[in-house]
Amino acid sequence: MSTLQRRTLANAIRALSMDAVQQANSGHPGAPMGMADIAEVLWRDYLQHNPANPHWPNRDRFVLSNGHGSMLLYSLLHLSGYPLTKEDLKQFRQLHSKTPGHPEYGYTEGVETTTGPLGQGLANAVGMALAEKTLAAQFNRPGFDVVNHFTYAFVGDGCLMEGISHEVCSLAGTQELGKLIVFYDDNGISIDGEIEGWFTDDTPTRFRSYNWQVISDVDGHDAKAIIAAIEEARRDTSRPTLVCCKTTIGFGSPNKAGSHDCHGAPLGQAEIQATRQALGWSHGPFEVPEDVSHAWNTIDKGQTLEALWKQLFESYQAKYPLLAEQFLRRIEGSLPENWGEIKKEIFEQQASVTDAAATRKCSQNILQLLGEKIPELLGGSADLAPSNLTMWKGSEAISPAHPNGNYMHYGVREFGMTAIMNGVALYGGFIPYGGTFLMFMEYARNAVRMSALMNLRVIHVYTHDSIGLGEDGPTHQPVEQITALRVTPNLQTWRPCDQFETTVAWLTAIERDEGPSAFILSRQNLPQQKRDSLQQQDIAKGGYILKACSGVPDLILIATGSEIALAMDSAVNLEQKGYEVQVVSMPCAERFAQQPKSYQEKVLPKDNRSRVAIECGHSDYWYKFVGIDGAVIGIDRFGESAPAGELMTMFGFTQEKVVETSIRIIQQNTH
């Protein structure tokens, strides 16, 4: 194909992008216009995908990490034959459209991930490449490469300035993710203007130090140079590849190309007309001539590719029926058929536990049972496995020499770990979980938010949950972090008090395929609480009556995690003083809020105003449960460095404080 023909095909992307941004009067035309030539070569010549079935398991994954250039991706999807119409393009950035301002997972077929905050798309791509390599190692057999494809990502300067790019690209090189190919749009422009004033890194040298193959100084507007770079990238499957493409932002615009003026604003009607003339694109807004549309449509090619793969998989099924069955189940995200039996067995084993234990140890106990039954669990920790207890006896570390493991040592990379887990979950075939200290969740919070935004089954394991960790001091002692997690939409946060509540948290999180879960676990030992069968069932509702009283309660104590034992002991103390006390355990307040009002009323009767909540965390969250007539024993300041027992006394987590507060509230509400 001639350069002129390719340029015409790329100009279809440029025209659709500038037209959609102009119609919306909002958006970023520069990146789509600058990367159109790279996209044309990649999508038409190399990308293994089927627009008629965007969920084909062996498709290549494509991630637009510089997601503000979303019209590049929407144009590609439309032109390739995905169910994205011209009318959808005209609704760019409009309410409830399939073409939101940034690519949003679940809105548009063919969009593999939500790429909003810069750098996280790149991290997701690393997760996808990791998942591909691991799944291939687990399921491929000689002559049957049923998992065999590439992951491609486009990134801009902003993605590489973000610190997460260092975390994930360093790890990608260490893991030798050779089927990850990243195209760097080196156009020298960001919103503030020419980046030479704030970004002068030697990017090729940086990536070579990560153990990446780097292909430098590629003319991003020369199809032959792009083809040569992709061929070279695909040949080296022992290292990920960075293709550094020199491009002109807003390519084709006579007056705005190469300037930040076209980065994040419409070109304007006059400039669009001038650009059409400069590109030789004589067609009207959103018009693509039939011959160009035909050349772009890849449905037939995609269906052929998928059909060939299906033939291979049918032979694989005949020779390895059990493997094939497990592969399909995992890709679909279904749990084993005997999941109900697995749950019952685990419940029965855990119900008889009597020894006190830290809930981080309780979590490891459950992992030991689950890991043997749920092979899709892909664990990990940000360098704290001995403290988080995220490894079980069957954990096998993933490495270049052993890619078929089930555990990732992420190193001290909390943000990178979390965003990579999102990519693994998006890829399919795995349920990722990863651990760190609760305080270090702060490094990862934006990726936690993205797992919730995309409804991903990701499990975040956070230990060292409070001032109870003691001497490490206020830099390591969480105060506001649990609240930050609880107020994140679609995230369910569990703070269990013992082995059985931890069991329910794990089983519920694994079943939950519409969003992530977070576990808040203790370092200190906690006693096991006694429950009947109904109480055991009610744990999954998020809040339940752990200790009932014989009559109408004078007081309701609400607590979570390590403070449950304090609430139970305080209730005994208060009963000795003649008060009727009900104790409510609230391991997951978000799930409790989803229960029918009748159940909520049963646990927290409206006519009982005497309530005291107890938690080693910020107090504000609990006022919606105790009301203006109740009280909260919490922490609204930073901690101190001291032994845990001394800190608990200093901050009022004692029977004396609970009893004193409770009596005051009872008396206040009965006079």
Q: Could you tell me which residues are annotated as the binding site for substrate?
A: 28, 263, 360, 387, 464, 472, 476, 523
How many Å apart are CA 192 and CA 59, to the nearest integer?
37
DSSP result, 593-617: HTS-HHHHHHHS-TT---EEEE-SS
At what angle are helices 359-373 and 499-511 packed, to 10 degrees? 40
Q: List the alpha helices (DSSP H) in 101-243.
A: 120-139, 157-161, 163-174, 203-209, 223-235
Binding site feature residues: 28, 68, 116-118, 157-158, 187, 189, 263, 360, 387, 440, 464, 472, 476, 523
From 40, 162, 414, 501, the catalytic residue: 414
Distances (CA, A) of 289 to 48, 252, 286: 25, 19, 10
Binding site feature residues for thiamine diphosphate: 68, 116-118, 158, 187, 263, 440
DSSP-derived 3-state class of residue 85: coil
| Annotation marks residue 337 as catalytic | no
Binding site feature residues for Mg(2+): 157, 187, 189
Write a three-state SS string for 130-157. HHHHHHHHHHCECCECCCCCCEEEEECH
How many Å apart are CA 59 and CA 49, to the nearest integer?
5
258 conformational bin, left if phi > 0, alpha if psi -120 to 50, beta if neither: left
At what angle are helices 299-319 and 321-332 packed, to 10 degrees? 130
Positive or negative, the Cα torsion across 441, 443, 444, 445?
A: positive
386 burial (CB, 10 Å; 0-12 / 13-18 / 19+) is: exposed
Rg (CA), the chain: 28
Distances (CA, A) of 42 to 34, 117, 158: 14, 24, 22
Provide the β-strand partners of residue 619. none
How many Å apart are CA 154 and CA 145, to the nearest integer?
26
H/E element, 189: strand 189-190
Residue 559: alpha-carbon gap to chain centroid: 29
Positive or negative, the Cα torsion across 207, 208, 209, 212?
A: positive
Residues taking part in catalysis? 414
